[in-house]
């Protein structure tokens, strides 16, 4: 069975669509309202589009959902990414610099003399950059944000080090802008979903425990 999260819904309609909300709910074994909620968010983010169900000829036509076609830019993207460096480490470092510039152009949390909530700061910049946050958890000073419906899906599946670098750099920059002391207290770790479902985990760990 596919994942029931938003990333799983996107994967489902991308591979099987067009599908109705009921068909998505049945395939994922979730309530139809849950399926419709995720589908609506995916439509709002521009990843999914709607159309009347042409398979039904009697009664009011139902709405189907299908993933928007992706531009055939894979080859060009690969060439551009190769220019970031010959190794994954160098590409991630260059991507992190780009992520910092991206976040600096969209700063949404004003500098503060106090110590802002790191989860709120990270969430604000990620949303401003077009990411959807599915869940947030905190335990023992470590905060984890689970992202879905992100604008870096093709990077996450083909060049995870680049997606990781962009997100890490963006969050690091946002923390530093919000509070210099906050930026120096946390190590940002990013793990793109290995299946390319656009599910990216962002982990903010206290500097003293980043090696754990």
Calculate the alpha carbon distances from 84 to 90, 131, 154, 160 in Å: 7, 23, 16, 13
> According to the model, what pLDDT value does residue 1 have?
41
6-67 in CATH: which number?
1.10.10.10
In the predicted model, residues of the chain with pLDDT beneath 50 are 1-2, 210-212
pLDDT at 100: 92
Q: pTM of the full predicted structure?
A: 0.61
Whether residue 49 is preceded by a cis peptide bond, meaning omega within 30 degrees of 0, is no
CA–CA gap between residue 123 and residue 135 (Å, rounded): 10
What is the pLDDT at residue 2?
46
What pLDDT score was predicted for residue 22?
93
Please state which of the four CATH numbers 3.30.1380.20, 3.20.20.140, 3.10.580.10, 3.40.640.10 is assigned to the domain occupying 88-209.
3.30.1380.20
């Amino acid at each position: 069975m596919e994942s029931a999260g938003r990333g799983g819904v996107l994967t489902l309609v991308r591979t099987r669509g067009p599908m109705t909300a009921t068909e998505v709910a049945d395939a994922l074994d979730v309530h139809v309202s849950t399926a419709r909620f995720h589908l609506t968010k995916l439509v709002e983010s521009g990843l999914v589009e709607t159309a009347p169900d042409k398979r039904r000829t009697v009664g009011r036509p139902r709405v189907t959902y299908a993933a928007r076609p992706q531009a055939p830019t894979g080859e060009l993207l690969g060439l551009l990414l190769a220019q970031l460096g010959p190794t994954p480490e160098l590409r991630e470092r260059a991507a992190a610099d780009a992520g910092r510039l991206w976040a600096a152009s969209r700063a949404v949390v004003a500098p503060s003399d106090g110590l802002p909530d790191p989860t709120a700061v990270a969430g604000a910049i990620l949303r401003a950059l077009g990411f959807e946050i599915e869940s947030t958890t905190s335990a023992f000073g470590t905060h984890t944000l689970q992202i879905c419906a992100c604008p870096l899906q093709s990077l996450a599946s083909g060049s995870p080090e680049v997606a990781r670098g962009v997100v890490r750099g963006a969050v690091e920059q946002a923390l530093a802008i919000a509070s210099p002391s906050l930026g120096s207290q946390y190590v940002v770790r990013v793990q793109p979903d290995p299946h390319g479902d656009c599910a990216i985990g962002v982990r903010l760990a206290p500097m003293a425990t980043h090696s754990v």
